[in-house]
Structure 1
Amino acid sequence: MGFLSEFKKFAVKGNVIDLAVGVVIGAAFGGVTKSLVDDVIMPPLGLLISRVDFSQLKLVLKEAVVENGTVVEQAVSINYGNFIQAVVNFMIIAFAIFLLVRTINRMREQEAAKPAPPVNKQEVLLAEIRDILKNDDSVNTPAPKQV
């Protein structure tokens, strides 16, 4: 098999396409979730904790050097507010994915719990006879030859 045909076979497999679709949808879902966190959840949360903007929280290790209104050397800081924001984003995304998977699992359980369609008694009897004949050695072995 040539290299190109092998690559084509790999690229059109269902798993690769499913993965690509998942990545695209995941990226879009990440944008929606980021907007939910940044625009809906964080403003009231910041208001509750004295108008603190998490992204601005930081521990300055070394102040910036400014000469004549120009920053000569950037400040060195630990931006723990960005970390808090990322943790909040992660928790919301994880919770949303949990709810989605939980819903899908419940739908699958409901589908599996549906009763099987009624079976025709005649079909059951015929299946039992077939199984008995299949397992009966006296039927499958030829009769001994008479001399």
Structure 2
Amino acid sequence: MGILKEFKEFAVKGNMIDMAVGIIIGTAFNNVVKTMVDKVVMPPLTILTNGINFADRKWVIREAVAGMEGDFGNEIAIGYGELIQVTIDFLIIGFTVFVVIKLMNSLRNKAQDPKDTEEVTPKDIELLNDLKELMQEQNRILSKK
């Protein structure tokens, strides 16, 4: 019975809902980034590499061979090109996520700056800034004594 109660508290507190929202948004963001990589970034890279499709590159260890009864043995190959393609995708996706997070952090920092009159500062940030200023003033007074 204790496990069901703990699970109910876990689900009701929002942890599960927050996780689900994060997964859904992450999946949608993955589609956006994949499309950007495939349709925006890779075409210029293809021009720079004279149309080489990395995903098709491989080192064939053994060719496919026909057996006596007409069946073919499978080709054995190391697909190094696909590894190169996935690595390029990873680097581009990582850089894109870095730029998006950097932009979001700069917008959040700008919104939380109490001295910025252009953005509306949340009330809790204003109160914390007032407390900080009062403590600094109190420290100045105490240090003069």
Shorter-chain TM-score range = 0.5 to 0.7
- For structure 2, the residue ranges without an aligned partner over 5 or more in a row are 116-125, 139-145
1:19 is matched with: 19
1:77-124 superposed Cα distances (whole Å, 9 cap, x missing partner): 11111111111211122112112211221122223322348x7xxxx8
Distance (whole Å) between structure 2 residues aligned to residue 41 and residue 66 of structure 1: 41
**Contact 2:60–2:77 (CA under 8 A) maintained in structure 1:** yes
Percent identity reads: 41
Q: Which has the higher strand share?
A: 1
RMSD across aligned positions (CA) = 2.8
Q: Secondary structure at the match of 2:50?
A: coil
Distance (whole Å) between structure 2 residues aligned to residue 24 and residue 71 of structure 1: 45
Mapping 1:97-136, distance limit 5 Å: 97-115=97-115, 116=126
- For structure 1, the residue ranges without an aligned partner over 5 or more in a row are 129-147
**Contact 1:33–1:89 (CA under 8 A) maintained in structure 2:** no
**Contact 1:46–1:54 (CA under 8 A) maintained in structure 2:** no
2:33 is matched with: 33
User: When the two structures are superposed, what TM-score results if normalisation uses the length of structure 1?
Assistant: 0.67
- Which has the larger Rg? 1
Alignment CA distance shift 1:46-1:67 (3 Å): farther
